[in-house]
Structure 1
């Protein structure tokens, strides 16, 4: 069989796939029908553009090494009986690391103790529940809200969203993108709800950009804001960037372990469907071997930067700062040059 691999960030793929399976690699975003001819399976991440019009009849399986699947046309894929596999929970630790590190830094800069904070977690999937567990271990009081589960009464220690928002010092969003049906997460926290947040609260969105509306965020400025995702990504307006206390280019879920776990999850689904076995490798030894590598974020960064071309000098500076500060990200945008710029860490993260 042949597997078409549309993302070089699928860590561990070469090591896990047996030699009997052919791998066809492609690093572009737009996948044409001619490229896929003869392939049985397609493996992607969130940056790939998949259209059923471009899928030949040979494709029977699509695996995305991501938690979400909103970048795939699920309805039309189901109509063609193409199986889809994702990797729920693969980057849960990376995202919770991201959230907790920002909470700790924010509390320190505000002169507050984290064990005196109340954290509201919106969305109790793999990431939300892990954040709940780890935050409680740090002595943080945690409130939970998840509308579908709340309606069905599956959680006892649960609050309606409005109550959670008004009682929390920190709110962290971990919901999927749902734009149809009785329950939608689009503009989940609107201007009216945001107006009731505590003075100097902290709102973190590392889920989906459309959960918040840019106009609402610019209108309500009495709380601090951390964004890893954006309503109109990859385009990010100067006003929104200035509004944020911290901003990162959609990298909260990036880690070497998360990428490897995601790859392994979708490969296991493909192996089950097509009847081949994966190579047995020592997970910890493999992760140790890549521990010195930076997480593969370049594809995601380049996606965001496509609308804002950088000079070679800017790119070199970006890389040097990332190495020096272990992937700490800038919060800056130069409207006149239409390019992202990097400044010294002291300018990005003032105390």
Structure 2
């Protein structure tokens, strides 16, 4: 029986993926084997000794202490692509409101309450809210992951030209990306060619302030910038300066900041990117299935700190070993299995950075399982050992 603590409200459709016969869901559990969360900040939380996995029902994991989890051999799962369509739709709305002065025009109409002749006032004032069409313009997409690809393809369907940049373009994304998308050699190249720019990259130390004064110097006058990825990707002071000089006509962001208050050329939304019932359900289902598959079988998929490593269940017991990614580990593990007369049916070893993970399917386990576990932990670089699947789940 596994106890799962929820740190936020998680869509019931996701939690249903954790069968009641094997899982207890409790939002106040003090000693859980798994944690599921959305936006809760875990950085000040103590990680209890029994914790085996953390699952973030969303793509970003900035609110999870990934480094501490890695040190303990705890995988952190996420839901890449689970909210991709929701964000794509919001980005498309951002394109339109950055051009057509819909928001400002709507506010102005409300200010006409009580006007003696509303129709006449509207006709007289609408010229102040003229904005260009997006058809035939160029959209620059920085980051061609799950969301960026959807945005790029949708923009093409709307009649835009699209130029994209992603030095780490995955094979899966490349398969889904339209061949009509022009590939740029650098962020500066994207910025120089684009009438509209949208960001779809993670916030890392290396990507902080990707959009800065130096990059914006390459932009056309009147460029429109969209940020529905992460607030820290943009240097807000540089944006304000670019707006003041006319380099940027409009900045649309899902990450409000005090310095933008009162600026008519900045449109802020309250972090609505994944705020759809469909997105919340998709993400909850994805991470619940990932968490269940890991706790049952040791399989790892969509982890930000562990390598993908999956072996279909065949009814045989298996051993999951997490260790530092150093040479001769397979030999040391093999020596322990030989000592305990364990015949290996299948072994998969994958690594990610400084961490390696093994799934070893065995014909049988020895009677003295404690001695086996102790011998595995005696290997200096081993972080975590789990014996799994004596019975089919």
Aligned to 2:378: none
Contact 1:174-1:207 at 8 Å conserved across structures:
yes
Contact 1:93-1:130 at 8 Å conserved across structures:
yes
Q: Secondary structure at the match of 2:183?
A: coil
Aligned to 1:131: 151
CA distance in 2, matches of 1:86, 1:241: 36
Residues 1:12 and 2:1 are matched in the alignment: no
Residues 1:186 and 2:186 are matched in the alignment: no
Counterpart mapping for 1:52-67 below 5 A = 54-67=46-59
2:266 paired residue among 227, 245, 259? 245
Aligned to 2:331: none
Q: Secondary structure at the match of 1:271?
A: helix
Are residues 50 and 198 of structure 1, via their aligned partners in 2, closer, same or farther at CA, if it must alter by over 3 Å?
same
Q: State the superposition RMSD in angstroms.
A: 2.2
Counterpart mapping for 1:165-184 below 5 A = 165-179=191-205, 184=206
1:225 paired residue among 235, 251, 254? 251
Structure 1 unaligned blocks of 5 or more: 27-34, 231-235, 277-351
Equivalent residues, number: 254
CA distance in 2, matches of 1:137, 1:55: 47
CA distance in 2, matches of 1:7, 1:164: 38
Residue 80 of structure 1, CA deviation: 0.3
Aligned to 1:23: 25
Aligned to 1:140: 160
Q: Deviations over 1:145-165 (max 9, x none)?
A: 124449xxx898311111110
Aligned to 2:187: 161
Q: Secondary structure at the match of 2:203?
A: coil
Aligned to 1:41: 34
1:88 paired residue among 80, 88, 96? 80
CA distance in 2, matches of 1:242, 1:108: 17
Residues 1:264 and 2:301 are matched in the alignment: no
CA distance in 1, matches of 2:135, 2:264: 27
Aligned to 1:117: 137
1:106 paired residue among 94, 98, 114? 98
Q: Deviations over 1:198-225 (max 9, x none)?
A: 2222100111111111221121112110
Contact 1:64-1:87 at 8 Å conserved across structures:
yes
Q: Secondary structure at the match of 1:116?
A: coil
Aligned to 1:340: none
Residue 255 of structure 1, CA deviation: 1.0
Residues 1:77 and 2:98 are matched in the alignment: no
Residue 178 of structure 1, CA deviation: 1.4
TM-score w.r.t. the length of structure 2 is 0.60
Aligned to 1:2: 3
Residue 72 of structure 1, CA deviation: 1.5
TM-score w.r.t. the length of structure 1 is 0.67
Structure 2 unaligned blocks of 5 or more: 102-129, 298-393
Aligned to 2:321: none
Contact 2:14-2:286 at 8 Å conserved across structures:
no
Q: Secondary structure at the match of 1:132?
A: helix
2:232 paired residue among 198, 204, 210? 210
CA distance in 1, matches of 2:53, 2:147: 26
1:273 paired residue among 294, 303, 322? 294
Computing the radius of gyration over CA atoms, which structure comes out larger, 1 or 2? 2
Contact 1:218-1:243 at 8 Å conserved across structures:
no
Contact 1:66-1:86 at 8 Å conserved across structures:
yes
